[in-house]
Amino acid sequence: MHDEGKVFLLEYKMLKAGTDSVISPPSWLEGVLREFGEVFQEPKGLPPSRRQDHVIILKEGENIPNIRSYRHPHYQKNKIERLVDDMLKSGVIRPNGSTIPSIVEEVNVLTQERDQMLHELKSNIVKAQVQMKTYKDQSRRPITLSTGDWVYLRLQPYRLKSLSKKRNKKLSPRFYGPYQIIKQIGSVEFKLDLPPERKIHPVFHVSLLKKVLAPTSNWQPLP
């Protein structure tokens, strides 16, 4: 049935309640069956292979079209072939000899291998750091310092621009002092009583300090 450009399919089945009696359609359906009687005729033969037949209506006397989807003139075809050959020779495109039918699958495999490699590298770095710390801790000893203690100060003058420059920079003494601790700044930082004329920050890490175990008269001034 056609109604303002819309197509509706109406299918009605006749049910037999016995051998002789036939159930009649509802009253609201009888008008439709009378108006479109040619559509709802009883079949005279076998049903079609499909539920609804579909046919493309052609003009009378015309043949069925049989052409390629894309048609190009011969000169355009030759130009495309030369372009493909040039791209193959220059390496822009390469023949795919992979056994994997999809390039995306190959990318996924490479991504998984890369992630696994990065995971192994990170774990190896962590193991190396733990081993280095364990090896270094074997030669370390706990240092207990407090306010009032005398310590030697370890500096590298050739790395400090504020210290006086000498020709034998790397031959300078390793420790200077001793100097007295006047304040503990943090858990591992101490403030020393340095000469005021030396323009050096007086707070140092405990790793740069060496405790004086016995009184000494040898005093090494800062450069």
pLDDT digit string (tens) for 135-155? 888 877 777 888 889 998 888
Mean pLDDT of 39-54: 68
Whether 7 shows a pLDDT value over 50: the answer reads no
Whether 19 shows a pLDDT value over 60: the answer reads no
Write down the pLDDT at residue 21: 58
Write out the two tokens for 202.
């007086």
Task: Report the Cα 207 to chain-centroid distance in Å.
Answer: 42
Mean pLDDT of 95-120: 76
Between CA 213 and CA 215 the distance in angstroms is 7
- Greater pLDDT, 201 or 156: 201
Write down the pLDDT at residue 9: 47
Q: Which stretch, 81-85, 136-140, 178-182, has highest mean pLDDT?
A: 178-182
Q: pLDDT above 90 covers what percent of the chain?
A: 12
Write down the pLDDT at residue 100: 58
3-state secondary structure the chain: CEECCEECCCCCCCCECCCCCECCCCHHHHHHHHHCCCCCCCCCCCCCCCCCCCCCCCCCCCCCCCCCCCCCCHHHHHHHHHHHHHHHHHCCCCCCCCCCCCHHHHHHHHHHHHHHHHHHHHHHHHHHHHHHHHHHHHCCCCCCCCCCCEEEEECCHHHCCCCCCCCCCCCCCCEEEEEEEEEECCCCEEEECCCCCCCCCCEEEHHHEEECCCCCCCCECCC
Q: Where are the domains of the chain?
A: 2-35, 150-211
pLDDT band at 16 (very low <50, low <70, confident <90, very high): very low
Mean pLDDT of 60-89: 77
Mean pLDDT of 70-84: 76
Lowest mean pLDDT of 22-26, 67-71, 107-111, 113-117, name the range. 67-71
